[in-house]
Amino acid sequence: MSLRLANLTTIRLLQDNLPPLLVPQLRERHTKHWDPKWKSLRRQKVMKVDLPNFREKPEDLTEEQVRAKLKEHGILPPRPWVEKPFFISSTGGIFEPYVPPEGDGKISPIHMQGAKQKLQFLEKKSKTMMAIRKIRMFEEDFDTTAFCKEAENIYVKMHELMAKKDWDNITDYVTERAYPEVIHNVENKTIHWKLIKNIELPRVVHARCTDVITKENVFGQTTVRFHTQQMLAVYDRFGRLMHGSEIIAKDVLEYIVFEKHLANVYGKWRIQGKIIPDWLPPKEPSATTYLKPAEETPPALPAEVPPPEEKEISKESNP
């Protein structure tokens, strides 16, 4: 030990007297650098991390302890959030529905009742014009003639998608309110539908606007009158005809309500529902066919043996 200390003393004396380039390297340990100026840098290489206690449960902590831990990590305490965000893309029904005149499509305007219907239509036209004016506040290029062509395309596309049972794309043409009514009772059925021609050009007969929750959230509804000739045939899952025919075309008069979220920049016109007047007679249900079971004949009963005839014995013959 004394020899080693002497050698260390001699080397340190040489370090003080020799120039820096000639100073011999002295290493006390192989894990440390010989130059002490790197000590602080080695200390900065290591970061002390406070690991959380993973065995600690929030249920076991008091309210004050939870608040202290949140404050330690710089997290604001949670607040009770009662409000729920929701998006209203369509209204829940038809506001101020149009009342179709009785006998529409059959009574001529020359007839007395037809002239009365025309007069009532002109009386209600003022509210419709005010609603159309409000629609033009959101759509500057809104025109009833051009809209009728767009409505006819939406009407045809909706029926084609319904016949194909394309439920993913049909929501682009019907609202969320009308969607359940469109897909009702369509499962396990084959539908053939075709629009043949227009008997009368479609026209806007009714228009209304309303606001939901706020004054700026405006919805618009327009009722379009369709008088067309269509072909409809509905088959069940066994291929039996339930309703309509693919050969016979029928005249159809319908009042379809279209709705648009006017306040939404990306809103578009979609089918909201169909107006069915009270004076319309109820439709007959579709014919449902069943397999007629084979008649089973009851088995023949065995022939009954007649009882033996009893012979009457007179009292006189007795001995």
The amino acid at residue 97 is P
Structure tokens belonging to residue 17: 């007297």
159, part of any domain: yes
Mean pLDDT of 271-283: 86
Residue 72 included in any domain: no
What pLDDT does 319 receive?
A: 42
pLDDT of residue 42: 78
| Domain presence at residue 257 | yes
The range of the structural domain enclosing residue 207 comes to 112-274
Contact 257, 274 (CB under 8 A): yes
Indicate if the pLDDT at residue 45 is higher than 80. Answer: yes
Say if pTM beats, i.e. exceeds, 0.75: no
What pLDDT, on the 0 to 100 scale, is given for residue 120? 66
DSSP 241: E
Q: Is 223 helix (H, G, I), strand (E, B) or coil?
A: strand
Query: Who contacts 163 (Cβ-Cβ below 8 Å, separation ≥6)?
Result: 191, 192, 193
CATH code of the domain covering residue 119: 3.10.450.240
Instruction: List the single range of 41-50, 134-143, 158-167 with lowest mean pLDDT.
Output: 41-50
Q: Is residue 129 part of a domain?
A: yes
pLDDT digits (tens, 9 = 90+) for 200-237: 999 999 999 999 888 889 999 999 999 999 999 999 88
Is residue 219 situated within a structural domain?
yes
Question: Which are the contacts of 210, defined by CB distance < 8 A and separation ≥ 6?
Answer: 91, 95, 218, 219, 221
Residue 317 pLDDT > 50, yes or no? no
Residue 144 lies in a domain: yes
Mean pLDDT of the chain: 81
Determine the average pLDDT of the residues in 32-49. 78
> Is pLDDT above 90 for 179?
yes
Q: How does pLDDT run across 230-269, given as a tens digit for each residue?
A: 999 999 888 888 888 899 999 999 999 999 999 998 999 9
Q: How many domains does the chain have?
A: 1
Residue with the two structure tokens 């991390």: 49
Give the model's pLDDT for residue 233: 93
